[in-house]
Amino acid sequence: MIIVTGGAGFIGSNIVLGLNQRGYDDILVVDNLTNGIKYKNLVDCQITDYLDKKDFLEKLQQGFFRHKTIEAIFHQGACSSTTEWDGRYMMENNYEYTKVLFHYCQDQKIPLIYASSAAVYGADDHFKEELQFEKPLNVYGYSKFQFDQYLRQFQSKLTAQVVGLRYFNVYGPHEEHKGSMASVAYHLNNQLLESDVIRLFEGCDGYGNGEQQRDFVYVGDVVDINLWFLDNPQVSGIYNTGTGRSQTFNDVANAVLNYHQKGSLEYIPFPEHLKGCYQSYTEANLEKLRTSGCEHQFKSVEEGVCLYMEWLNK
C-alpha cells in the first residue's frame, strides 16, 4: 500500500494518477473534504480507500497500520495559503502533523516524501538548500521552513528515506479548487474566456510591468520527481523542485494568448497587502538535485502551459 496525504488536492491527486499509470492502485488517500469540490480530482483515480486527515492520524497513533505493508507515504497535505496568517492553525496543520508522520515512518522504516516549499527562501535570491538563504516572508513559509529545520536534526541517523521537496510555482490540471491560490496560468485562462482580456500586476521591487520572474514548474514534472525518489530509496534530503529557469509573468500570459490566438494583455496596480511579503523572483538552484542523481528535464513555460491549456479547454 502507498499512502498519499492531501491526495484529493492539486499535487496529491496528480501523484495518485502518476502511480496509477505505473500500475499502482493499492492507494490510501488522506485528505480533508470540507471543500467538497475537491472530490472531482479523485474521480479519474484508482484508489483502495479514503480517510479524513483527522481519522488517519488517530488510526496511525493507535497502531491501526502497524500490521499493514506500507511501501511509502507521500505527504502532500497542508494549508498552502500564503495569505493565511493564523499561525497557530498553520503550525498545527503543517508542522506538528508532519512531525507525527515523520516519527511514525522512522519507527516503522517507511519512506516519507513530503512537500516543502520555495516559500522558505522569502526574498533571498540564492534559492539554495542551506540555512543561510532561508528567510520566509509569511507564516506558511515559516511552517515549511521549521519542519525542514526539524528534519535536519535527524539526517545523520535516519532509519528510512526522508525527502523534502521544495516546490516552486507549480501549475497544471486539478488545481481549480484552490480559488485565489490557483496558478497564474489558470486565472489568465479564465480571464481570457470571460472578457478577451488578461491582467497582470504592474511592476514592483524594481521590475517592469509583468516582468516579475518565477520558476514556473508543470505539475507533471513534479510528479516525475516524486516518483524518482520513490525509485531511489537510498537518497534522502531536502531538494528544490523547479525548472532551474526563471521566466516572467509576461511569458505565462503570452503562452495563454498564443494558445487561444486571441485576446489582449493589461496591467493593474500592485496590491498594497502583498507589498513586503511577495516573492518577485524565484529560480530553483538544481545543483543538489542533480548531485543526487536525478537528471529529469523540466518543461519550459511555453511547453507546460500549452499542455495545461489543452487539458483546461478540452
pLDDT in tens, 92-110: 889 999 999 999 999 999 9
Across the chain, mean pLDDT equals: 94
Percent of residues, the chain, with pLDDT higher than 90:
85
Residues 161 and 255 in one domain: no
Residue 56 maps to which CATH number?
3.40.50.720
Residues 90 and 222 in one domain: yes
The torsion angles phi and psi of 30, rounded to 5 degrees, stand at -115, 130
Give catalytic residue positions: 140, 178
Q: What is the layout of strands, in order, in the sheet containing 162-167?
A: 49-52, 27-31, 2-5, 72-75, 112-117, 162-167, 237-241
Plot region of 157 (φ>0 → left; ψ -120 to 50 → alpha; else → beta): alpha
Residues 43 and 65 in one domain: yes
Q: What is the DSSP letter of 276?
A: T
Mean pLDDT of 222-233: 98
Residues 95 and 180 in one domain: no
Q: What is the pTM of this model?
A: 0.94
Q: Which amino acid is at 206?
A: G
Residue 198 maps to which CATH number?
3.90.25.10
Residues 132 and 54 in one domain: yes
H/E stretch holding 282? none
Amino acid 90: pLDDT: 86
Total number of domains constituting the chain: 2
Could you give the CA distance from residue 212 to residue 206 in angstroms, rounded to a whole number? 9
Query: Residue 122's pLDDT band (boundaries 50, 70, 90)?
Result: confident
Closest listed residue to residue 73, CA positions, set 24, 30, 14, 9: 30
Dihedral of CA 58/110/2/100: which sign? positive
Amino acid 83: pLDDT: 67
Amino acid 277: pLDDT: 67
Amino acid 78: pLDDT: 83
Residues 203 and 294 in one domain: no
Amino acid 82: pLDDT: 66
Query: Residue 274's pLDDT band (boundaries 50, 70, 90)?
Result: confident
pLDDT digit string (tens) for 71-94?
999 999 987 766 677 888 888 889
Percent of residues, the chain, with pLDDT higher than 70:
98
| 273: pLDDT strictly greater than 90 | no
- 181 vs 68, 80, 131, 133, 153, CA distance in Å? 36, 8, 27, 25, 32
| 258: pLDDT strictly greater than 90 | yes
Residues 125 and 264 in one domain: no
Residues 92 and 46 in one domain: yes
Mean pLDDT of 239-264: 97
Residues 67 and 204 in one domain: no
Could you give the CA distance from residue 301 to residue 243 in angstroms, rounded to a whole number? 9
Mean pLDDT of 10-31: 97
Amino acid 180: pLDDT: 87
Residues 165 and 71 in one domain: yes
Mean pLDDT of 141-153: 96
Residues 127 and 151 in one domain: yes
| 278: pLDDT strictly greater than 80 | no
Instruction: Quote the domain boundaries for residue 186.
Output: 176-213+246-280+304-312
Q: Ranked by mean pLDDT, which of 113-127, 242-256, 277-291 comes out on top?
A: 242-256
Dihedral of CA 87/92/96/97: which sign? negative
Could you give the CA distance from residue 128 to residue 44 in angstroms, rounded to a whole number? 36
Mean pLDDT of 138-161: 95
Residues 112 and 181 in one domain: no
Amino acid 93: pLDDT: 83
Is the pLDDT higher at 115 or at 206? Answer: 115
